[in-house]
Chains A and B, each alone.
Chain A
């Protein structure tokens, strides 16, 4: 069993204070949102009913949070125990990512005071992809906190309680893999019903598969990114050897993604739209390049074993998946001529505030709780 411990250190650093300010500003703007309605702070319209909050905070946010999913899959299910040191940090980001996504949904939803309707049997609509997503995400947030309990117990409870929890934790781990598999794919299916309003470069029945695979890609990208970040920021040794071994597995997922995504585009004859020279075309090309970069790095052993390259592969993977989501939900989505959307300053500030809150929580947790692995000799 790997050992973890809090890394300690001062909490109120300068960046931390800046983030507190950002979160504060977001708080004030949120007050405005709840008092005067969504229109008061957002640029949302009847044509573009979903904007930055849904696409970044919810979609991209939960996917970035898929580090926990990706690692749980690798460590527990594929039984690659040697990656264990990375699990807790990944799990924790998932927990925050999803919790904040949950909060973002609450903010975004117009009739938030009856949001619990989604869990009432009398209102269930099994045809609705949104119902499945909402139900899974809610359950997953609970599961993530349960998966994380050993960390709390390690700190505050008796060893006995911890041991008990560890006996049943496998149940939560299993759900922790099942639920994201379900909802990350459904987050793709969600747009199928938009029909022709979504450009052919993105509209396909394979959306669930490409979204699921790209969620894994982002998840692993995040694990790489985070482990580098924590090694630089907290002066910890790099886990390159672990990461580079893991990257073979990631490479496989990437290849699968590319086969589905581009195979489908060719099959439907939609690939030509990429060269139309319009915004859609260019955004598609950027998306594609971002998926290709990590593929090259991961398949060249020399590059893969180089910490810097691996880092950029991780960043590129995260960006690729994020752009895929922005493209599918905003860039490629057009309700018809006359409608436009670009997030308002307030919308952006609220998103920044939410990201700040997430990073602050991360810092508090790694500094105060046993999350990161104990540094071993080198």
Chain B
């Protein structure tokens, strides 16, 4: 009896430890970029802050303005583009501005200014997709676009907790709310088009294309001699349209190349990224750590089943004792 119990405890202890996930020290493998991944290269040095992309984003996604009051809507005319202070449930992209000192020179850190466009980064290893309990957020296996299915979503908002860029937004003001995020205009892509924001960008600051080619383009720009002329593609890599601008002194790093496992929305800038509100993030996604913990604990469901077996035995023995007592 006693020996029995000791053995049983060993099993129980092993099961418990494994069940609660001891191997927390490593993250699982990095995820790879889907083969035909598409993305956006945003070059802050080209952006003139016109916010055409904000307007078009609202238009192609059929979204109302944030300050769309009754007054604005009178006579059947209404505001179409007014964005919020930041990304919100009515604003999928947002141009923001960095200012310092006299703000006299563009793309200068001191006494200068710069623009930055924020939207979903379409992570290669998205936390939001890993987090969603009902697979409402998915990463398209071909294009890599991170998309949302409201038919599945239960509104738990775990994706909001999980996203390192605070991208998914929730309609707190609605009785029947949805999660809202940029889906890289996949409805436009389906029709053979390109994302609204890139389509209308007058300077090529928002550029659409296959991620691998965008990455090459970005590297080329970083390598180009500052002050020289460069032919920048406009709208999309394949549009054939270009504009010639002077190359600025780029930070020699592409934001999005490594952050949280890499992203399909890439950013170039002449002002340090932290100044533009872009966080320093680890190279592995938090999802890779949390999935590793989970899958170690529940590998083949062995640990839970072993634990359950032990528990069944123990509880059976102890209740039997109860009734014979």
Q: Name A residues whose Cβ lies closer than 8 Å to a Cβ of B.
A: 1, 34-40, 42, 44-47, 49-50, 75-79, 81, 84, 108-115, 117-118, 120, 123-125, 127-132, 134, 166, 169-171, 173-175, 177-178, 181-182, 185-186, 189-197, 204-206, 208-209, 212, 333, 335-336, 338
Chain B nearest CB from A165 CB (Å) reads: 11
A125-B133, A178-B304 known; A36-B322 Cβ under 8 A: no
Check if B311 sits within 8 Å of A178, measured CB to CB: yes
Check if A39 sits within 8 Å of B308, measured CB to CB: no
Check if B155 sits within 8 Å of A110, measured CB to CB: yes
Check if A125 sits within 8 Å of B132, measured CB to CB: yes
Chain A nearest CB from B45 CB (Å) reads: 25
Chain A nearest CB from B29 CB (Å) reads: 13
Listed by A's residue number, 8 A-B pairs whose Cβ atoms lie within 8 Å are A75-B318, A79-B5, A118-B134, A120-B134, A170-B312, A195-B127, A195-B164, A208-B20
Check if A193 sits within 8 Å of B19, measured CB to CB: no
Check if B289 sits within 8 Å of A205, measured CB to CB: yes
Check if B287 sits within 8 Å of A193, measured CB to CB: yes
A81-B321, A170-B312, A193-B130 known; A118-B154 Cβ under 8 A: yes
B residues less than 8 Å from A132 (CB atoms): 294, 298
A127-B291, A132-B294, A181-B307 known; A209-B130 Cβ under 8 A: no
Check if B155 sits within 8 Å of A111, measured CB to CB: yes
Residue in B160, B318, B320 whose beta carbon sits within 8 Å of that of A77 in the complex: B318
User: Complex: how many Å from CA A112 to CA B240?
Assistant: 48
Least CB separation from A338: chain B residue: B86
B residues less than 8 Å from A190 (CB atoms): 158
Interface size, chain B (Cβ < 8 Å): 77
User: Complex: how many Å from CA A152 to CA B286?
Assistant: 46
Q: Chain B 77-92, CB within 8 Å of chain A: the 1/0 string?
A: 0000000001111000
Check if A45 sits within 8 Å of B172, measured CB to CB: yes
Q: Chain B 150-164, CB within 8 Å of chain A: the 1/0 string?
A: 111111111011101
Check if A129 sits within 8 Å of B131, measured CB to CB: yes
User: Complex: how many Å from CA A45 to CA B164?
Assistant: 16
Stretch of B51-59, B173-181, B263-271 contacting A (4+ beta carbons < 8 Å):
B173-181
User: Complex: how many Å from CA A40 to CA B87?
Assistant: 20
Check if A128 sits within 8 Å of B308, measured CB to CB: no
B residues less than 8 Å from A47 (CB atoms): 166
A residues less than 8 Å from B282 (CB atoms): 195-196
Question: Is B223 interfacial (CB 8 A cutoff)?
Answer: no
A46-B166, A111-B153 known; A189-B293 Cβ under 8 A: yes
A79-B318, A125-B135 known; A178-B177 Cβ under 8 A: no
Check if B287 sits within 8 Å of A46, measured CB to CB: no
Within B213-243, the residues touching A (CB, 8 Å) are: none
A residues less than 8 Å from B133 (CB atoms): 118, 125, 128, 130-131, 134
